[in-house]
Amino acid sequence: MKQLGFLVLFFAMFACQNKVDSDQKMDMIKYIDRKSGEIHTENVPNQGMLNWLYGAGSGKLALHLLFKRKLVSSMGGWYMNTQQSAKRIPGFIAEHNIDITEFQDADTFKTFNQFFYRKLKANVRPIGEHLVSPADGKILVFPTLNDVQTFFIKGSEFTLERFLQNPELTKKYSDGSMAIVRLAPPDYHRYHFPASGIASESTKINGYYYSVSPLALRGSLEIFCENKREYSTLATKEYGDILIMDVGATMVGSIFQTYSPGLVKKGDEKGYFAFGGSTLVLLFEKGKIRFDKDLLTNTQKGMETTIHMGEDIGLN
């Protein structure tokens, strides 16, 4: 079974690489660098495959038959835990210009996954004064869920009821705000608490393994309601009860929670993702958060903004 899965996977990868060369030139992910204000183009790993899977008819067929299944992500996770995978590390660092000096034990990674969920050195990410980003990545912020509906092409398919699968929580956050932090494969993949408070236990929601790349989300935000995910709530004095949803995706082998329920401090580690692109979704009760102006402006322009764990993103 594994041998068959590998054959199908590599055939699909080969096919999509040779079918979407023209699409690669068309579908580019633009974002705004928060420090400089400049617009950049993201270097997307396997962009050809994503264009094929979420754009071409044959790709969508392969997506529904194979790529969204646990089998493919499990195979990818298995390979990324082998010593053979470590050979990919130097090239990946060079291709994506990763500053490896920020991380602990940078010269001792024995597998790609060890590198992928690497730990930061102490004090590399200063923790801000207000509500902070829980992760490195690119962020979108929405003062109301109505703003979410207008941002995505088919945003109306996204409902809190499907996303949360909990009537009480749906009612609690239905008039609230949302922040989406997207972690691309080159990003630091541990995530942290955005504020101090009391953290609940984590609740798991089973699902598929669709990509959370903008190349996929342009089709529908409904992907967030389909993917495997876990959520917990953080009871805070300043920002009310924050719901933190950890969303897995294609090639994410697992979501690991490293925190203990109870009192936590802002910036404490909450967990990490194994190999793949991933997303954190933060939900706020109505009137509990005012997002920073630059993040709001950029989102209204249809652009993500680069963010680092610990950077301020809003006030109460």
DSSP for 188-243?
--EEE-SS-EEE---EEE--B----SHHHHTT-TTHHHHB-EEEEEEE-SSS-EEE
Q: Cβ neighbours of residue 235 under 8 Å, at least 6 residues apart?
A: 197, 198, 199, 200, 241
13 vs 111: CA distance, rounded Å: 22
User: 192, 213, 232, 241: which is the annotated catalytic residue?
Assistant: 192
Residues 137-150 have pLDDT tens digits of: 999 999 998 888 77
The reply to whether 23 belongs to the active site is: no
226: in domain? yes
Q: Is the pLDDT of residue 16 over 80?
A: no
User: 136, 187, 241, 246: which is the annotated catalytic residue?
Assistant: 136
243: in domain? yes
User: 85, 177, 211, 278: which is the annotated catalytic residue?
Assistant: 278
Per the structure, how many domains does the chain have?
Answer: 1
What is residue 12's three-state secondary structure?
Answer: helix
With pLDDT > 90 as the criterion, what percentage of the chain qualifies?
A: 51
Query: What's the rounded mean pLDDT across residues 114-137?
Result: 95
The reply to whether 268 belongs to the active site is: no
* Domain containing residue 285: 131-315
51: in domain? no
Query: What's the rounded mean pLDDT across residues 256-282?
Result: 92
Query: What's the rounded mean pLDDT across residues 215-241?
Result: 79
297: in domain? yes
Q: Specify the pLDDT at position 184.
A: 85
Q: Is the pLDDT of residue 233 over 90?
A: yes
Q: Specify the pLDDT at position 153.
A: 53
Q: Specify the pLDDT at position 140.
A: 94
Residues 18-70 have pLDDT tens digits of: 444 434 444 578 899 999 999 998 876 544 433 433 344 444 444 444 444 45
Q: Specify the pLDDT at position 28.
A: 73
The reply to whether 136 belongs to the active site is: yes
49: in domain? no
Q: Which of 11-20, 95-104, 169-178, 274-283 has the lowest mean pLDDT?
A: 11-20
Residue with tokens 């590390």: 89
CA distances from 250 to 133, 228, 299 (A): 23, 10, 25
36: in domain? no
225: in domain? yes
96: in domain? no
Query: What's the rounded mean pLDDT across residues 107-122?
Result: 91
